[in-house]
Amino acid sequence: MAKIFRTIILTLIIAPVGLMAQGRQSLPCPVAEDTVLSRIEGEDITGWTYGEDPRWYSMAGALPLRATSFEWGKKKEDLTHALGEDNISFIEIFRIYYGTKPYLVVVKATEDDSYAYPQRQRGWEVKPKLNYFVMEEREVDKIHAQDSIGTFVYSLHLVDHGFVQNVKLKKRDQWVQEILKKAVPHENYPWELQFHVSLFGEQNVARFQLYAMHRVFKDIDGVRNVQQIRGERIYGKAELMDYFYFEIPFSQLFQYLRTMSDS
């Protein structure tokens, strides 16, 4: 009886491993197109935060920490706050294929920081982090770039998302390959790409936010810090743009949206 029991246990342990290996072998290797469909550089982006005073504060390529003017005067000189609540080095879209099926990959490149020796607060380092969001091409049909004025929140269904680190942003081939190693399309994936957009054509101003949100639990990914207002998290709500947003010239974001909708 003991021998039979051991046989059953071993079968239960080994069988799932074999099944998973078969699943991996049956999935075609992903291939990325060399063409970049669209790209927004961080140097063209300004981050804005509505402070606690209340006043608006801005930083190049980053959302300032939410604080009073007195606190902001101190924090803006602190290296540990230099990257803000969130920041963007660039946003890029490219196409990948699993077999013959195409997918779009949206990459939000950011910088993160930490101490090499946290207990002593020594060795402060800044490292790149690339958040990637994978979706079927049909999802971008939800984006209507013909609208020149207004505020919109697009919820685009994802098939996978995640991030890669320990790469150099200038070595595109390297980080694209790292994404291809990790990205695997899933059926019924429970995450969405939330894309808040406010377009003001006459003022040549466009504002946006970009992050992933779980459809059920409302968890947030793809941002450096998930902020709260009066104790309530505002990511996933339209009022997010009343407190935090990135801003670029209208013409650039309009072209970005057009590229997404035409891809």
Query: What is the DSSP track for the chain?
Result: -HHHHHHHHHHHHHHHHHHHHHHHHHSPPEEEEEEEEEEEEGGG-EEEEE-SSS-EEEEETEEPPP--HHHHHHHTT-GGGTT-SEE-SEEEEEEEEETTEEEEEEEEEEEEEEEEETTTTEEEEEEEEEEEEEEEGGGGGG--TT--EEEEEEEEE-SEEEEEES--TT-HHHHHHHHHHH----TT--EEEEEEEEEEGGGTEEEEEEEEEETTT--EESSS---EETTEE-TTSGGGGGTEEEEEEHHHHHHHHHHHHH-
What does the pLDDT read at residue 148? 58
Range(s) of the domain holding residue 186: 31-262
| Residues of the chain above pLDDT 90, percent | 59
Q: Residue 19 falls within a domain, yes or no? A: no
pLDDT tens per residue across span 154-163: 999 999 999 9
Domain membership flag for residue 18: no
Q: Is 38 part of a structural domain of the chain?
A: yes
Confidence of residue 146 (pLDDT cuts 50, 70, 90): low
Q: 17: which residues sit within 8 A by CB, 6+ positions away? A: none
pTM of the full structure: 0.85
Q: Following DSSP, what letter does each residue of 74-100 receive, concatenated?
A: HHTT-GGGTT-SEE-SEEEEEEEEETT
Lowest mean pLDDT among 50-54, 87-91, 193-197: 50-54
Q: How many domains does the chain have?
A: 1
Would 13 be classed as within a structural domain? no
> Does any domain span residue 121?
yes
Could you report the per-residue pLDDT of 162-176, keeping only the tens digit for each? 999 999 999 999 999
What's the pLDDT tens digit per position in 183-223? 999 999 999 999 999 988 777 889 999 999 999 999 999 99
> Considering the domain boundaries, does residue 47 fall inside one?
yes
Is it the case that residue 6 has pLDDT exceeding 80?
Answer: no
Q: Is the pLDDT of residue 108 over 50?
A: yes
- 15 falls within a domain: no
Q: Is residue 113 part of a domain?
A: yes
In the predicted structure, residue 18 carries a pLDDT above the cut 70: no
